[in-house]
Amino acid sequence: MTLRCALTATAAGLFAFPAQAAEPFAMQAEDVVVSAPAAMAAPAPFQMLASDITYDGTARADGAMITRNTDESVFFRDEASAADAQIVLNEGGAAFFEDRSTAETALLTVNGEAAFSGSSTAGNASIVTNASGQTRFTEGSNAGAATIENNGTLNFVDAASAGAAGITNNFGGNVAFAGDANAGGGAALTNSGTVRFTDQASANDRFIANNATGEVVFEGAATAGAAVIGNSGSLRFAGASTLADGRIIGNRTGTIAFSEDATAGAGEISHAGVLSFTGRSSAGSALVETLTGGATYFSESASGARAEIRLQDGAVVDFSGITTGATSVASLLGTGQVFLGGIALTVGDDGPQRTIGGISDGGVAGGTGGSLIKVGTAVLGLEGVNNYTGATDVRAGTLLGAAVNAFAPGSAVTVADGALLDIGGFAQEIGSLAGAGRVDLAANTLTLGGDNRSTVFSGTFTGAGGFAKQGDGTFTVANTSVIFGASQVTGGTLLVAGGLPLVPLSVFGGGTVTGGGTVGSLALGAGGTLLAAGPSLQIVNDLTFAPAAIFAVVPSGMLTPVVAGGTASLGGASVVVTGLDPAIPYEEIRRRTILIADAVTGTFREPILAGGSAFLIPSLEYGPTTVSLILDRLAPALPPSPGAPLPVFVAAAQSANQFATAQALDGLSQIAGAETLPLYNAVLFSDLAGARSAFEQLSGEVHAAVRGALVDGSRHARDAVASRVDTVMSGIEQGSDGARSIAHGPWAYGYGSIGEAKATDGAASADREVGGVFLGGDIPLTESARLGLFGGYGHTRVSVDARGSSASIDTAHIGAYGAGALGPVEALVGAAYSWNDVDTQRAVSFAGFADSLSANYSVDVSQIFGEIGHRIHLGGIDIKPFAGIAHVHLESDSFAENGGAARLNSGGGSSDTLFTTLGVRGSGDLTIAGVDLSARGMVGWRHASGDRTPVAALAFGAGQPFTVQGVPISRDAAIVEASVSTIIAPNVSLSFDYLGQIGTDATDSSFRVGLNKLF
């Protein structure tokens, strides 16, 4: 110990310093423990320069100047106090306040470390933490009422508190609250650096002034408590943090961001900058006010939850970035702009009325079809421009139009039972209206229907106003409403199923009114239509038709007359019969009263049938108070035979198939409930061209076309055998004794062709696509005779496009043949049997009727055939004139189509067709460009007799059978074959073939590439 001043020992064994000591008292090498504050009664000046210093008990550092350097510390323990000491903590130096110690009014300059723990407090100290310094509050320590300026690091952890300390965090400084620490309150935390709340830390009721360069972050489960945050910089809530009951005042330069699972809790946010909710964050039940020039954005899975959203004029709230398709808020208030993109926004609580200025599609993320859902008992008013295009669903409370045309004009509106759509004393327009709630029209007009939807409104209209129906859809009024404002229909259909007994209704061009309900009066302008199609309209007062108005009638079993309690003024309007009830027999609807009035004045024009029926003649019959419609069937040229059906349809037939089908349709049952009644009535109401088209579509002609294709296709088996035999016979070597010898055995023959059976009078053309393969083998019986067997598979597609029909056929073949030669004379005989699995598809569609039909059945084809020819050798060329004959027998199974009223059935049938052929074959070898080729060809004439015209016996259900014809098989046809082959390997040849058939009624062409292996 070195003394550089006068020192006096007291009675207590301690040192006392005279008041006039000239130099400080310096401790250089050992620890100094100061235990009793009385010993320092006159400390001036007493400077601690080195080693650790400890103040414990109730010791005080009054007036001390303490400097701590690297590895030097000063400790304040128990209830010790730094008093008004000046403490400088250089880098590596530290001050520790522990237990219940206090910094009192000390001045701490921290370049090293200042740590408060236990229950210690910073008291009223002034603490300056520089860039390299760290001030730390841990455990239950408290910053008291200190003044803290931070340029380095300031941490509050565990249960530490910033108390009522005034904290200034400069640019570059970092303040952190972690664990259960809190920011205290009663003074400001001014931030230009970074302030971070993590874990369960709380901003308590602190006022935080976040400057333009500042960043305040809440993360983990941190909470803003009841803090007030003025934000000009960056304020972020992440993790599961919450604003709780805090309040944010955001300036124009400030940004506020909620992300992950953060929530605005029950706080208040008022800002003029940018506020964003992303991730799964929520606005909670906060009050969120966006000031002029500010914008609030919701995106990803964020939610508005139960927040109260307010917008000043020029402010924006944008929900377009939400990816979950929907969100909610408790209320909307203000004159700013809300963007929905394509999401559904649910709005509503049980609070007071609130009015919002404008809701639209679009936004930063774009999107259309945004919709509004109103819940809660509160009134939500709309003003400004609302042009979102999705639905408006008023589930509870009131949606109010607070200005003219305040509702979204293209929105489909549904008002639930107990809810109210109030047009607010202004003219309004919506896309459409549905639901069971109430619509208050006041004394104005609601225009609806522009979205072309068909809707049912089972609620009620109230007030003295009316409505205007536009668009193409049907608006059904299902309930009774006692309104008396003039209403009109300018587009689509108004179906009055309930009552509008006081409403004067006008219908103009493009509009239709129908239904079995009641209206006050009805005036039909030019082009306006009154439709009677079942229970018809009841008119309390007058019914007036303009000259160009339309009275449309659908005769049916349910048709009741239109009734007018006043005068019906017919005005030369048109009566149009638009169809027949498919379920009601004609005789039951031949005569119907269509109008009853207190008095009838004027007449209608002559009635017309929509589309112009070829079989019905309409007329009107007038009485003093009635108008009746009469539909007479066209009288036949000759009376029917006793017991035969009235021949109505046959008068329109032109071809044999049309006549057969029409005759079958004439015989269909006219009993109510008969399956074919809708078919009969649809044809009865057809015009001439439509009836003929119906006959053709209904004929089932494809079934005859299938039979024709199978008979004609039987030639492929004959061609395969003839080709095999001719190949073998042309390869026979003749010995000196005139005998011949044959070598080869197994063979294959592929085939494929595209053909057309040309349309004839009454039968449509049928396109054919055929492909398959035959495999066979033969053995020698003698040196010049062989016996063989063959089998095969083929597929055929038949298309009768003009009849909307097609068939797919799978075929299995089996057969046998024999061939031989006697000198130059060659002969063959053969037989074949083919099993055909047939699938057909038909589509029938004409005015008033449509059906899809299908069938599956079997058709078997058997044939015997023969050929004789004479081979002539002319140098290197063989010529063989020949004659052939074939008998083909077809047997079709019975079948019944699947489908509706147009389905057909058949009991099967058979046919026999004889083919004779005269022709000449030739073959020879040649060399082209050094390649050895074998050429073969044939020309001939084929004649068909017997059952050349394929037919199918068919019937509609249990109705009268009729026979339909397909395109005939050509009586005479030219046949051409050409083939070129070359050897490409031992016993392997490549061939190119053409086969053609040209007839008066059909053509067929086949191109084939073959790879042949000789065994």
> How far is the C-alpha of 274 from the C-alpha of 347, rounded, in Å?
22
Specify if 743 maps to a domain.
yes
- Residue 362 parent element (H or E): none
**What is the tally of structural domains in the chain?**
4
> How far is the C-alpha of 903 from the C-alpha of 700, rounded, in Å?
9
Q: 645 vs 584, 587, 904, 957, 959, CA distance in Å?
A: 18, 13, 20, 16, 11
Q: Are 214 and 195 in contact (CB under 8 A)?
A: yes
Mark whether 594 and 660 lie in a shared domain: no
Mark whether 685 and 808 lie in a shared domain: no
What six digits make up the tokens of 931?
A: 């390649």
Mark whether 657 and 629 lie in a shared domain: no
Q: Supply the pLDDT for residue 637.
A: 56
> How far is the C-alpha of 140 from the C-alpha of 121, rounded, in Å?
9
> How far is the C-alpha of 36 from the C-alpha of 15, rounded, in Å?
11
What six digits make up the tokens of 477?
A: 């009024």
Mark whether 729 and 866 lie in a shared domain: yes
Residues β-bridged to residue 773: 750, 793
Q: Supply the pLDDT for residue 17.
A: 40
CA 871 from chain centre, in angstroms, equals 72
- Residue 658 parent element (H or E): helix 656-666
pTM over 0.85: no
Q: Supply the pLDDT for residue 730.
A: 74
Mark whether 607 and 748 lie in a shared domain: no
CA 419 from chain centre, in angstroms, equals 30
Tens-place pLDDT, residues 356-391 = 989 999 999 999 999 999 999 999 999 999 999 999
Mark whether 713 and 838 lie in a shared domain: yes
Q: Supply the pLDDT for residue 927.
A: 83
- Region of poorest pLDDT, from 29-33, 283-287, 555-559, 939-943: 29-33
Instruction: Indicate if the pLDDT at residue 1007 is higher than 80.
Output: no
Tens-place pLDDT, residues 78-128 = 999 999 999 999 999 999 999 999 999 999 999 999 999 999 999 999 999
Q: Supply the pLDDT for residue 18.
A: 41
> How far is the C-alpha of 291 from the C-alpha of 313, rounded, in Å?
8
Tens-place pLDDT, residues 738-790 = 334 444 579 998 888 888 888 887 899 999 999 999 999 999 988 889 999 99
Q: Are 483 and 440 in contact (CB under 8 A)?
A: no
DSSP annotation of 395 reads -
The angle formed by the CA atoms of residues 633, 636 and 642, to the nearest 5 degrees, is 105
Specify if 855 maps to a domain.
yes
Q: Are 744 and 726 in contact (CB under 8 A)?
A: no
Judging by DSSP bridges, how do beta strands 529-532 and 65-68 pair with one another?
A: unpaired
Mark whether 797 and 943 lie in a shared domain: yes
Average pLDDT over residues 74-80: 98
Specify if 677 maps to a domain.
yes
Mark whether 770 and 897 lie in a shared domain: yes
Mark whether 713 and 618 lie in a shared domain: no
Q: Which of 633, 659, 676 is the last residue of a domain?
A: 633
3-class SS letters over 12-72: CCCEECCCCCCCCEEECCCCEEECCHHHHCCCCCEEECCCCEEECCCCECCCCEEEECCCC
Q: Which residue reads 């059935």 in tokens?
A: 905
* pLDDT level of residue 23 (50, 70, 90 thresholds): very low
Mark whether 676 and 590 lie in a shared domain: no
Tens-place pLDDT, residues 461-474 = 999 999 999 999 99
> How far is the C-alpha of 74 from the C-alpha of 89, rounded, in Å?
9
* pLDDT level of residue 735 (50, 70, 90 thresholds): very low
Mark whether 686 and 744 lie in a shared domain: no
Which of 797, 806, 749 minimizes the C-alpha distance to 772? 749
> How far is the C-alpha of 734 from the C-alpha of 740, rounded, in Å?
5
By 3-state DSSP, what share of the chain in percent is helix, strand and coil, each rounded to 5?
A: 5, 50, 40
Q: Are 397 and 376 in contact (CB under 8 A)?
A: yes
> How far is the C-alpha of 792 from the C-alpha of 788, rounded, in Å?
14
Specify if 948 maps to a domain.
yes
Residue type for position 559: L
Q: Supply the pLDDT for residue 985.
A: 81
The angle formed by the CA atoms of residues 502, 503 and 508, to the nearest 5 degrees, is 155
What six digits make up the tokens of 447?
A: 């225009």
Mark whether 768 and 885 lie in a shared domain: yes
Q: Are 694 and 682 in contact (CB under 8 A)?
A: yes
Tens-place pLDDT, residues 530-560 = 999 989 999 999 999 999 999 999 988 788 9
Q: Are 441 and 426 in contact (CB under 8 A)?
A: no
Q: Which of 146, 180, 209 is the last residue of a domain?
A: 146
Please enumerate in sequence order all residues whose Cβ is within 8 A of that of 167, keeping only pairs 6 or more positions apart, or say none: 143, 148, 149, 150, 154, 175, 187, 188, 189, 190
Specify if 81 maps to a domain.
yes
Judging by DSSP bridges, how do beta strands 379-382 and 371-374 pair with one another?
A: unpaired
Residues β-bridged to residue 153: 134, 174
Q: Supply the pLDDT for residue 469.
A: 98
CATH of the domain at 886: 2.40.128.130
Helix (H, G, I), strand (E, B), or coil: what is residue 754? strand
Q: Supply the pLDDT for residue 26.
A: 44
Query: Residue 392, Cβ neighbours under 10 Å: how many?
Result: 25
Instruction: Indicate if the pLDDT at residue 416 is higher than 60.
Output: yes
Q: Are 52 and 30 in contact (CB under 8 A)?
A: no
Tens-place pLDDT, residues 674-723 = 899 999 999 998 999 999 999 999 999 999 999 999 999 999 999 999 98
Average of per-residue pLDDT values in the chain: 91
Specify if 354 maps to a domain.
no
What beta strand segments (E) does 579-711 contain?
A: 591-601, 608-609, 616-622, 626-633
What six digits make up the tokens of 954?
A: 């068919």
HSE value, Cβ hemisphere, 13 Å, CA-based, for 406: 22
Instruction: Indicate if the pLDDT at residue 1009 is higher than 90.
Output: no
Specify if 175 maps to a domain.
no
Judging by DSSP bridges, how do beta strands 247-250 and 268-271 pair with one another?
A: parallel
Please enumerate in sequence order all residues whose Cβ is within 8 A of that of 335, keeping only pairs 6 or more positions apart, or say none: 311, 312, 313, 357, 358, 383, 384
* pLDDT level of residue 27 (50, 70, 90 thresholds): very low
Radius of gyration of the chain (CA): 52
> How far is the C-alpha of 977 from the C-alpha of 921, rounded, in Å?
9
Specify if 449 maps to a domain.
no
CA 1015 from chain centre, in angstroms, equals 62
Instruction: Indicate if the pLDDT at residue 853 is higher than 50.
Output: yes
Q: Are 11 and 39 in contact (CB under 8 A)?
A: no
836 burial level (CB within 10 Å; 0-12, 13-18, 19+): buried
- Residue 684 parent element (H or E): helix 677-684
Q: Are 594 and 561 in contact (CB under 8 A)?
A: yes
Question: Percent of the chain having pLDDT more than 90?
Answer: 77
Q: Which of 94, 114, 146 is the last residue of a domain?
A: 146
Instruction: Indicate if the pLDDT at residue 1000 is higher than 90.
Output: no
Tens-place pLDDT, residues 211-257 = 999 999 999 999 999 999 999 999 999 999 999 999 999 999 999 99
Instruction: Indicate if the pLDDT at residue 979 is higher than 90.
Output: no
267 burial level (CB within 10 Å; 0-12, 13-18, 19+): buried
What six digits make up the tokens of 462?
A: 């109230």
> How far is the C-alpha of 59 from the C-alpha of 79, rounded, in Å?
7
Q: Supply the pLDDT for residue 655.
A: 93
Query: Residue 523, Cβ neighbours under 10 Å: how many?
Result: 18
What beta strand segments (E) does 758-824 contain?
A: 766-782, 785-800, 805-822
Which of 689, 688, 692, 687 minimizes the C-alpha distance to 656? 692
Domain that holds residue 733: 703-919+939-970
What six digits make up the tokens of 650?
A: 């046959």
Q: Are 493 and 471 in contact (CB under 8 A)?
A: no
Instruction: Indicate if the pLDDT at residue 516 is higher than 90.
Output: yes
Q: Supply the pLDDT for residue 646.
A: 67
Instruction: Indicate if the pLDDT at residue 825 is higher than 90.
Output: yes
Which of 182, 173, 185, 251 minimizes the C-alpha distance to 212? 251
* pLDDT level of residue 1014 (50, 70, 90 thresholds): low
